[in-house]
Structure 1
Amino acid sequence: MTLVKFNPNGNVKKNDLMNGFDGVFDSIFNDTFFSDRMMARVPAVNISESKDHYYVELAAPGLKKNDFKLSLERNLLNISVERNSENNAQERNYNKREFSYNSFVRSFTLPEAADENGIEAKYVDGMLCVNIVKREEAKIQGGN
């Protein structure tokens, strides 16, 4: 159902007709039916750094540690998940479902200061935390 704005005074001006059409189009394209399908289905990420490390925090609730695959090709860190949806006997009928990551890939270009041999990851409470150690040269330069 689409609600169309109208002029309560009953005065119809030339531009009011166009505003009515604009309102219809705005309501169609701003409807949750369309916005849910256009919304990116990848988890949000925070990236930060300290003197010795870079940190990537990826919010992905409902997954398991084994669902994640991390790969490093040259200086490109890829974080991916490939899951098959399982049919449970007690399946729910969702009215709205926003966190459903069956598959995604997030890629990050590592800076030159990153030590590709010093990457660790852990998954705790729906958050994948990737710690990337900085090279010794970068630590020394950063301290000056």
Structure 2
Amino acid sequence: MYRNAWLPEVFNDFFDNNYMPKANATAPAINVMESKTDYRVELAAPGMRKEDFDVNINTDGDLVIKMDRKGEKHDENVHYLRREFSYTKYEQTLILPDDVDKQKISANVADGVLTIVLPKIVKEEQKIARNIEIG
């Protein structure tokens, strides 16, 4: 592991230990939640804009999330000593449950989080009135 001579070892020990393992810089954190009406997928995306994402349903009916930072400017005079949130390209495919209404999926980016709402198919209970024949 590369260590800079002036960067105290305590910083490496603080960020890379059993209590706080080093983050995988190629995979953003993701949350998946379920309510009675929908599923929600949240993807940590600090510094990303909506133009940096492509969210679609592929031919297999799976949800594909692609992230690619477009037009990122690099400062030639800056050298990173440690860089953990530098994922600029990312792709994840999620197999959707059968009860997702794929026509009503929506997504937005706010406060560094991509949120995808996967509404559940509304099943209307049919109330059937009928006579029961007594045999």
Task: Determine which structure has the larger strand proportion and give its number.
Answer: 1
Shift in Å, 1:80: 0.4
Runs of 4+ in 1 over 2 A off after TM superposition: 82-92
Number of aligned residue pairs: give it: 107
Unaligned runs of 5+ in 1: 2-29
Selected match of 2:109 from 117, 123, 138: 123
**Counterpart residue number, 1:56:** 41
TM-score by length of 1: 0.64
Moved more, 115-124 or 40-49: 40-49
User: Does residue 110 of structure 1 match 2:84?
Assistant: no
- Aligned with 1:135: secondary structure? coil
Task: Please report how far the alpha carbon of residue 102 of structure 1 lies from its aligned counterpart in structure 2 after TM superposition.
Answer: 1.3
**1:113/1:66 CA distance change after superposition, 3 Å:** same
Give the direction of change, closer, same or farther, for the CA distance of 1:43–1:100 in structure 2 (3 Å limit). same
User: Structure 1 pair 99/127, CA: closer, same or farther in 2 (3 Å)?
Assistant: same
Matches within 5 A, 1:95-106: 95-106=81-92
Q: TM-score normalised to the size of structure 2? A: 0.68
Report the equivalent of 2:4: none
Larger Rg: 1
Residue 134 in 1 paired to residue 120 in 2? Answer: yes
Is the 8 Å Cα contact of residues 80 and 104 (structure 1) preserved in structure 2?
A: yes
| Deviation digits for residues 66-92 of structure 1 (CA, Å, limit 9, x no counterpart) | 100011013210000123564445752
Structure 2 distance, partners of 1:112, 1:99, is: 34
